Copies of this chain bind each other. A is one copy, B any other.
Amino acid sequence: MRKVKIYITLKEGVLDPQGKAVQNSLHSLEYNNVADVRIGKYMEVMLEDSDNIEQQVDKMCDQLLANPVIEDYSYTIEEAV
């Protein structure tokens, strides 16, 4: 079994209203040294072993998990504990 950790982030230049809202909230809590906040998704996918796992993860991200127009993705593959 493998544990795939997938990080999905908005592409550079894409507006992040959610991040802005969190940033404003942090400022209102006096965390004034917060310069920027970007919010994305973090997924842990448990996969039974197969020989083309990287290919499969790329396809899953392209097809479903990430929106290729506005999002980038990266991932790590670990042995599941």
Please list the residues of chain A having a beta carbon within 8 angstroms of any beta carbon in chain B: 1, 7-9, 19, 22, 25-26, 29, 31, 33-50, 56, 60, 63-65
Residue of B nearest to A44 (CB): B38
Q: Is the CB of A33 within 8 A of B50?
A: yes
- A64: which B residues are within 8 A, CB to CB? 22, 25-26, 29
> Is B35 within 8 A of A1, CB to CB?
yes
A36 to B1, CA, bound (A): 11
What's the minimum C-beta distance from A21 to chain B, rounded to whole angstroms? 11
Q: Given A33-B50, A60-B26, A60-B31, A42 and B39 touching (CB < 8 A)?
A: yes
Known: A29-B63, A48-B35. A42 touches B1 (CB 8 A): no
